Structure 1
Amino acid sequence: MSGQRRVPAWLRKDSDRLPVEGELPSFDGATGWLNSPALSAAGLRGKVVVIDFWTYTCINWLRQLPYVRAWAEKYSEQGLVVVGVHTPEFPFEQDAGNVNRAVRDLRVDYPVAIDSDYAVWQAFDNHYWPALYFADAEGRIRHHHFGEGEYERSETVIQQLLAEAGSSTSDSLVSVEGDGLEAPADWDTLRTPETYAGYYRTESFASPGGVVQDKPHSYAVPPELRLNRWALSGDWTMRPHAPRLNTAEGQVVYRFHARDLHMVMRPAAGTAVPFRVLLDGQPPGDAHGGDVDADGRGTVVEQRLYQLIRQPETVADRTFEITFLDPGVEVFAFTFG
């Protein structure tokens, strides 16, 4: 949902000073394209271009998406081209079929370069999801922004570059109201950081004895779990990117402080893994996320990010538990909002 707002005078004045940061790099390394034939830097001359690096399980990008979608819709007839560059974070995000499904399900209608080999990422010397790069009609990078936020500033940059190219634009800004996964984080109550579950990057793992790499192992939850610590229970194999559950009734427990809790998960090929969620030992009720009912029941059916908790009221230190009723599930990351 979006509307219009006026550009603050101070913001427009600041956007008038845009340095040249370099030439628009090549998209030649893309392994495929969605919503468009292959695009090139040379072929985009004469257009203002916003390049958006993303990966479909990234909660930060999902919360940015409503703005990028609104800019593409509002300014396309005035000469703006938005190019999404999907560079995978997790192995399953390299699958073109998964990316295609995400583009469809998330209503990404602008051109998308599939960057499964990181060639475009490296051409831009990029290091972040999400990352926005703004190129003028002469093919020069004039601005960039990493991460969420600064949406007013980004839109005034678009307006400035379109004006430089000779397009007339209003001084109104889109007004976006994201919902579900696209809703803004509750930054005032967010106290728990993103956590990766595989042993390459995991932190704050609290199961007694620690991580046993690449071997089936029976894990347990400690008697007391401190804030921002997590643990496994049951028979799991801890792999570089994700622990994999070997037997039914395995659990993940996390002590967290945030309005929202999400997990990036996938089932074994050709399966669906049912689960149940508890919050402080009880079904979540009104605090259930979009992929869980009030009784805490849900199913891992595909490889993506799942919203499991969204608290409607007071946010406090809470204990989250998820029990998987069948084996085969892999857990890649926890994110919060």
Structure 2
Amino acid sequence: MDQKRSLGFAVAAVAAAAATAATCFGDALGLARSPTGAGNAAVEAPFDTSAHPVDMLQSASPWLLPAPESPRSLRGKVVIVNFWTYSCINSLRALPYLRAWSQRYADKGLAVVGVHAPEFGFEKDPANVRLALDQLDVRYPNLQDNDYAMWRAFANRGWPGIYFIDAQGKVRGYRLGEGGYAEGEQLIRTLLAEAGLDLAHVPQTAIEGAGVEAQADWADLGSPEAYLGYAKAVGFASPGGLNPGAARSYAPAASLSRNRWDLAGIWKVGGEYALLERSPGTIRFRFHARDAHLVLGGAADGRPVRFRVTIDGRAPSASHGVDVDAAGWGEVKQDRLYQLIRQPGEIVDRTLEIQFSRPGVRAYVFTFG
């Protein structure tokens, strides 16, 4: 899973107990399964992780949200390091827990540190990341890791990658992907207690995400992420296939089976994204999941791009996501993940269609939950 998104909870291969835990380590469909039992335990850090992780953080830059005094104030604290990227649904669904841990234990000696390691080009722009930090209410320190220096130093494997470091600066646990948050918090409490902190009056109340941060419906998740750029694209169904790097008129497929997608209109498909060259333009995807998201980038002129979403040819109504209304209307204003569908009822195979009103929009990857 090197430099790929994690769909669900997947732990490092060194943990034999995690053999049933899916995703990029052997699930034939590349789908997540809800973590249970022993596979939830945090595991040892990758063998090539830096022996001095806090020292590495102290010397790193640039800091988008710095530590209250300085990065050197991390020494002697229990530190949680979260590798993430702001358009990744797996990273977003971990944020409620990281925020809550920071709020509960900051005055007890815990420091949560985000390391933003971008997947797409637009995530390298510090202005975009700062806007995302504000909109996502992330207040703990965050480092921009555009060149993956910290990623390599920690030997991280994907998003989210969460490291638990004790007050002596030793990595005591590592989690790759989503899940097992109760065990993660218990490890935090153990490390703080070892450092002499009294947690008797700090309750462990339930943590729940809302909106796009709500946990996935793992039991009904039948669709993996699907990239639209030719470098990672799979499942493309338009007649004639993809024409990498050149503008071309695409037609919809006669039919779509599960996890297949197509384009209609004139698109230029690059390595990272599909760019709509002339309007109108449409993307369809046949999916099986409660939630459907699409990472989108705005037009170069900076003006919003209106779009309309339908599900099985109809307005989504009660099945609309947070970024569209009941009639299916939304607009691309920023480069980020957009939640298009959240179904309240029975989950069956459905066809999502999104049509854009004008050219210039960039479509990167579908993700589901």
Q: Same fold (TM over 0.5)?
A: yes
2:196 pairs with 1:166: yes
Counterpart of 2:94 in structure 1 is: 64
Work out the CA distance in 1 between the residues paired with 2:334 and 2:263: 22
Which one is further off, 89-98 or 170-179?
Answer: 170-179
Match of 1:23 in 2: 52
1:39 positional shift? 5.0
- Secondary structure of the 1:218 match is strand
Secondary structure at the aligned position of 1:176 is classed as: coil
Query: What is the aligned partner in structure 1 of residue 79 from structure 2?
Result: 49
Distance across 2 between alignment mates of 1:99 and 1:74: 25
Task: Give, in whole Å, the separation in 2 of the partners of 1:20 and 1:335.
Answer: 27
Q: Which residue of 2 aligns with 1:301?
A: 333
* Shift in Å, 1:34: 1.3
For 2:343, the equivalent position in structure 1 comes to 311
- Residue correspondence of structure 1 range 124-273 to structure 2 within 5 A: 124-170=154-200, 172-269=203-300, 270-273=302-305
Distance in 1, Cα, partners of 2:347 & 2:131: 34
Shift of residue 311, structure 1, vs aligned partner: 0.5
Determine helix, strand or coil for the equivalent of 1:63.
Answer: helix
In 1, the alpha carbon distance for the partners of 2:284 and 2:345 equals 22
Give the length in aligned residue pairs: 324
Q: Secondary structure at the match of 2:186?
A: helix
Q: CA RMSD in A?
A: 2.1
Kindly indicate whether the alpha-carbon contact (under 8 Å) linking 2:63 and 2:141 is maintained by their aligned counterparts in 1: no
Moved more, 78-87 or 20-29: 20-29
Secondary structure at the counterpart of residue 158 of structure 2:
coil
- Structure 2 residue 87 is the aligned partner of structure 1 residue 87: no
Distance in 2 between residues matched to 1:272 and 1:101, nearest whole Å? 17
Structure 1's unaligned 5+ residue stretches are 1-9
Tell me the equivalent position of 1:4.
Answer: none
Higher normalized strand content (fraction of residues):
1
Q: Quickly say closer, same or farther: Cα 1:20–1:86, change in 2 above 3 A.
A: closer
- CA 1:64–1:20: 2 relative to 1, 3 Å: closer
Separation of aligned partners in 2, 1:257 and 1:232 = 19
Alpha-carbon distance change, 302 to 138 in structure 1, aligned in 2, over 3 angstroms: same
Deviation at 1:38, TM superposition (A): 8.4
TM-score w.r.t. length of structure 1: 0.92
Q: Distance in 1 between matches of 2:196 and 2:123?
A: 39
Deviation at 1:120, TM superposition (A): 1.0
1:45 CA drift (Å) = 2.1
What is the CA-CA distance between 1:44 and the residue it aligns to? 2.1
Cα distance in 1 for partners of 2:249, 2:62 equals 41
TM-score by length of structure 2 reads: 0.84
Identity fraction in percent: 47
Structure 2 CA distance, aligned partners of 1:38 and 1:77? 14
Q: Is this contact kept in 1: 2:67–2:73, CA < 8 A?
A: no
Please, which moves more after superposition, 30-39 or 97-106?
Answer: 30-39
Contact 1:32-1:115 at 8 Å conserved across structures: no
Deviation at 1:220, TM superposition (A): 1.1
